[in-house]
């Protein structure tokens, strides 16, 4: 879910087991605010080797931070057209990347606020909607 400069999403979290497999670990809830941009969808896990960051260590089933990301340069360039003195570096924008079996999520934002919840999904969704639509702090 997203509105203005806020993004909230959730996924089924897992944890490693002693035998090297993964087990359920409740539901992860992630909030990004402010969020400059995000992209969700392709590639899925089978097409992940075609992602431009795959050769730099991007693998699925994890959240990665891309240091010195070229993705931040594009919105910075676009912003300078109208606001020549703007500097996204001053906003501390970071690039995060995650993939699951069916999709990839890339986020440009200041950071991730991650929590784990055992609440039913409808409770989590209600709580995140309240966060998305709350009035900004004065």
97 and 119 co-located in one domain: no
Q: Decide if 30 contacts 107 (C-beta within 8 A).
A: no
101 and 116 co-located in one domain: no
Among 41, 43, 74, residue whose Cα is nearest residue 59:
43
The pLDDT score that the predictor gives to residue 138 is 45
**Prediction pTM value:** 0.81
14 and 53 co-located in one domain: no
105 and 118 co-located in one domain: no
Average pLDDT, the chain: 87
5 and 27 co-located in one domain: yes
Q: How many domains does the structure of the chain reveal?
A: 2
86 and 131 co-located in one domain: no
Instruction: For 50-76, write each residue's pLDDT tens digit.
Output: 888 888 888 777 788 999 888 888 888
1 and 51 co-located in one domain: no
46 and 102 co-located in one domain: yes
1 and 49 co-located in one domain: no
Cα–Cα separations (whole angstroms), residue 14 to 41, 53, 105 = 21, 23, 17
49 and 76 co-located in one domain: yes
Full DSSP string of 60-125 = SSSEEEETT-GGGHHHHHHHHHH-TT--GGGGT-EEEEEE-SS-EEEEEES--EEEEE-S-HHHHH
Full DSSP string of 14-70 = EEE-TTS-EEEEEEEEEEESSEEEEEEE---TTTGGGSTTGGGT--SSSEEEETT-G
Q: For residues 130-134, give the mean pLDDT.
A: 90
Domain range for residue 100? 41-109
Torsions phi, psi of 134, nearest 5? Answer: -70, 155
99 and 68 co-located in one domain: yes
């Amino acid at each position: 879910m997203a509105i203005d400069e806020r993004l909230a999403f959730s996924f089924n979290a897992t944890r490693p087991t002693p035998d090297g497999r993964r087990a359920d670990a409740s539901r992860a809830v992630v909030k990004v605010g402010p969020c400059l941009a995000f992209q969700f969808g392709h590639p899925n896990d089978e097409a992940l080797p075609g992602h431009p960051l795959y050769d730099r260590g991007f693998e699925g089933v994890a959240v990665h931070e891309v240091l010195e990301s070229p993705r931040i340069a594009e919105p910075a360039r676009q912003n300078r057209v109208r606001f020549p003195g703007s500097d996204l570096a001053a906003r501390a924008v970071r690039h995060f990347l995650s993939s699951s079996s069916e999709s990839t999520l890339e986020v440009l934002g200041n950071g991730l606020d991650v929590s784990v919840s055992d609440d039913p999904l409808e409770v989590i969704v209600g709580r995140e909607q309240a966060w998305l639509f709350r009035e900004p702090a004065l």
